[in-house]
Amino acid sequence: MAKEVKFSLVFRDMWQSAGKYQPRVDQLVKVAPAIIKMGCFDRVETNGGGFEQVNLLYGENPNKSVREWTKPFHEAGIQTHMLDRALNGLRMSPVPKDVRKLFYKVKKAQGTDITRIFCGLNDPRNVIPSIKYSKEAGMIAQAALCITYSPIHTVEYYVNLAKQFIDAGADEICLKDMAGIGRPVSLGKIVEGIKSLKNDIVIQYHSHAGPGFNMASILEVCNAGCDYIDTGMSPLSWGTGHADIIAVQEMLKDAGFKVKEINMAAYMEVRTQIQEMCDDFLGYYIPDLNHINNSLLVKPGLPGGMMGSLMTDLEDNLKSLNKWKVKNGQPELTTDDLLIKLFDEVAYVWPKVGYPCLVTPFSQYVKNLALMNVMQMEKGKARWSMIADTIWDMILGKAGQLPGPVAPELIEMAKEQGREFETQDPQSYFPDKLDEFREEMKQNGWDFGQDDEELFELAMHPEQYRAYKSGKAKADFEADLAKRKAAKNAPAAGAEGPKSVTVQVNGVNYKVEIAYGDATPAAPAAGAAPAAAAPAGEGEDIVAPLEGKFYLVKDNAETPVKVGDTVQAGDTLGYIEAMKTFNAIRADKAGTITAILVNSGDSVEEDDPIMKMA
C-alpha cells in the first residue's frame, strides 16, 4: 500500500514570508471556508510567531482573531498549529516561566491544537520545558529541529537532538528548514535517522522556496518516511515563501504517494481572496523582490519568514544611508548594492558569533549585526561598533548555548566592556512577572479577558499591548498606510503631481502632504496643532544613532530618565527599536538631561535630536 503524505497550509507564514503584516480577523474568517473546501489540507497554521504581535501593531485584538480563525477548522476536523519560540514564546526576547505556562493554557483554550516549539540555538534547555508545559495544557507538542548548513550542523547532530526531544516527551518532530538551505540528501538521512529511533513518530517538514532546494528536499524527506509537508499557495507561493500545494501534490502523486486531491475551484476562490487582501492594504507591505526565488540566499542562509520584513526595513535603511552619503559627497547605493553587502557580511558574521541557526530571533540578531556593521563601515566607522544588548545576550550565552565558539575579537570586546559569558539555564535570568502585570491590569481597569487572555497579551507583548490599548498603534499604522498609498499614486519622474492627497484607510480620511525630489512638504497651516514634544532646554543635542522608534525604556523593570536627571558616561538614556531589536542610546559623557524632545513610541530618523544634555 502506498504511503500517505498529508499537507498543511502555512497560512500565517505565507504572509510573514511575503511582507510585514497579517490579514485582519474579518478577512481570515471569510477565507477559512474556502480553504476547507479545497479538501487537501489536514492541518492549517493559524497563528503563533509574529501573528499576535502584528495584530496589535495595527490595532486589532489578537485573542479575538485566534478564536474566530481556528473555529471553522475545528468544526471541519482540520488540526490547527502555531509557531512557538520556546524561551521567547511569541516574541523576540525571553519570557518569564509563569508567562510561558499561561501561554499554552491560553492558546489551547483559544483553539490551537499543535504548538511547533523551536529554539534558534537548538538548546534543549529552552525547548524541553515548553514540551512539558504544552502537554500539561492539553496541546500536541511538536519539537522542531532548526535546520541550517554548517560544519557543526551534521546529520548526526540533528538525529541526536531529535532523540533528546523524543525522550523528553515530544509527540512529533518538525524539520524546520526556515531558510530552505537544507541539502536534500542530508535531510532525507535525518528523517531516516529519526524514524530509526521511533518508527511511529510523526515528522513534519517545513521549508522555504527561495534558494531553490525545497522541491527536491520535499521528495527526499517523503521517500525517507516524512508524514506531513507544509505548503503555500498562489499568489504567496515561491519566492521567499513556500512551494505551492499544486506542484507538491502533483510531484508526490507521480512518485507513488497517496495524497488528497485539490478542489481547484476552491483553490481559485482562496487565491482571489488573498489577492483582494493584498489590494486592500497588505500588498503595500510586500516588496516585489519577495516574489522571486534567489539562490544568493544559499550563502547567507537568511530565513524566508524574515525576508518578508527585511526588504521593507532595507528601504528605510538605504534611505537613511544615502541621506548621509549625499551629505558627505559620496555616491549613493542601490538596493542591490546594499543587499549584496548585507549578504556578504552575514556570511562573515555568522561563524564569528558561534553559528546560531538563522531563525527568529537569532536570524534578526545576526542580520541586524551585519547590517549595522555595513552601515557603520560605509560611514568610515569600525565593524562591531554598534551591538545591541539582546545581541550581546546571544553572544554571551544568556539566551542558550551557542553551537560553535565565539570569535576571539568578540571575546576581547566583551572583556573590555565588563561583560561575562554565562553557562546557567537561560530561564534563570528571567524570573516570574505575572503578578506585576496583574497589578498593571487592575490599576488601568483593564479586563483580564476570557481565560486570562488579555493578561497574557500584556505579559507577552507589553509595549505593543499598551500602544494597542491607548489607540496609538492603530493611529500610527493607519498614518503609515496612508503615506504608502499616497506614494504609490505619485506621478512619474518629471511629471507634475499634486501637493497633497486625501487617502481613506478603514473609513478614515488622511490628508498626506507629498514632496517630490528634494522638496520638503509644505508647513502646516496656521493654527494647526504641532506634534507633541517636550520644550527644548539648554545644552548639546543627543541624536538618534539610527532610524526607528524611540522608547525611554524597553520594559517596565526599567526607570526612564527624566528632565533634571544627572547621568554618567555609558548610562542608558533610551532605545531605538529597529528591525525588531532595541538598540541602547548611551551617554557619551556625564551631564544633566535638560530636555526630552520626542515621546516614547515616536518614529525618528538617524541624527534626529531626541534629548538635550548640559
Which band of pLDDT confidence, cut at 50, 70 and 90, is reported for residue 419? very high
If one counts every other C-beta atom within 10 angstroms of the C-beta of residue 230, the result is 29
Q: How do beta strands 6-9 and 228-231 pair? A: parallel
Query: What is the rounded average pLDDT of the residues 80-101?
Result: 94
Range of the domain at 199: 6-285
Instruction: Specify if 522 maps to a domain.
Output: no
CATH number of the domain at 193, please: 3.20.20.70
Which band of pLDDT confidence, cut at 50, 70 and 90, is reported for residue 327? confident
Last residue of a domain, one of 252, 285, 318: 285
C-alpha span between 177 and 186 (Å, rounded): 12
What is the number of domains present in the chain? 2
C-alpha span between 492 and 489 (Å, rounded): 9
Q: Is the pLDDT of residue 116 over 90?
A: yes
Query: What is the rounded average pLDDT of the residues 91-104?
Result: 94
Q: Is the pLDDT of residue 40 over 80?
A: yes
pLDDT value, residue 490:
62
Instruction: Specify if 223 maps to a domain.
Output: yes
Instruction: Specify if 363 maps to a domain.
Output: no
pTM score, two decimals? 0.80
Instruction: Specify if 478 maps to a domain.
Output: no
pLDDT value, residue 502:
52
Please give the residue that has the higher pLDDT: either 541 or 225. 225
pLDDT value, residue 228:
98
Query: What is the rounded average pLDDT of the residues 194-216?
Result: 96
pLDDT value, residue 614:
85
For residue 361, is the peptide bond before it cis, meaning its omega torsion is within 30 degrees of 0? yes
Last residue of a domain, one of 223, 257, 285: 285
Residue with C-alpha cell 505619485? 490
Please give the residue that has the higher pLDDT: either 519 or 51. 51
Query: What is the rounded average pLDDT of the residues 75-101?
Result: 95
CATH number of the domain at 606, please: 2.40.50.100
Last residue of a domain, one of 254, 285, 316: 285
206, β-bridge pairs: 176
Query: What is the rounded average pLDDT of the residues 59-77?
Result: 95
Cα distance from N-terminal residue to C-terminal residue, the chain: 80
Query: What is the rounded average pLDDT of the residues 255-283?
Result: 96
Q: How do beta strands 581-586 and 508-513 pair? A: unpaired
Please give the residue that has the higher pLDDT: either 556 or 188. 188
pLDDT value, residue 486:
85
For 94-204, where are the alpha helices, taking DSSP H only?
97-110, 124-136, 155-167, 184-197
Query: What is the rounded average pLDDT of the residues 315-319?
Result: 80
The pLDDT tens digits of the residues spanning 7-38 come to 999 999 999 888 888 999 999 999 999 999 99
* CB of 78 closer than 8 Å to CB of 42: yes
In DSSP notation, 572-585 reads EEEEEEETTEEEEE
Instruction: Specify if 74 maps to a domain.
Output: yes
583, β-bridge pairs: 576
The pLDDT tens digits of the residues spanning 341-367 come to 988 999 899 999 999 988 888 888 998
Q: Is the pLDDT of residue 152 over 70?
A: yes
Instruction: Specify if 567 maps to a domain.
Output: yes
Q: And the C-alpha cell for 121?
A: 540555538
pLDDT > 70 in the chain, percent: 90
Instruction: Specify if 529 maps to a domain.
Output: no
Distances (CA, A) of 332 to 263, 319, 326, 327, 329: 50, 9, 7, 10, 9
Q: Is 219 exposed, middle or buried (0-12, 13-18, 19+ CB in 10 A)?
A: buried
For residue 331, is the peptide bond before it cis, meaning its omega torsion is within 30 degrees of 0? no
Query: What is the rounded average pLDDT of the residues 117-139?
Result: 97
Which band of pLDDT confidence, cut at 50, 70 and 90, is reported for residue 493? low
In total, the chain counts a number of residues equal to 614
The pLDDT tens digits of the residues spanning 250-266 come to 999 999 999 999 999 99
Instruction: Specify if 390 maps to a domain.
Output: no
For 379-422, where are the alpha helices, taking DSSP H only?
389-396, 408-416
In the chain, the largest separation of any two C-alpha atoms, in whole Å, equals: 81
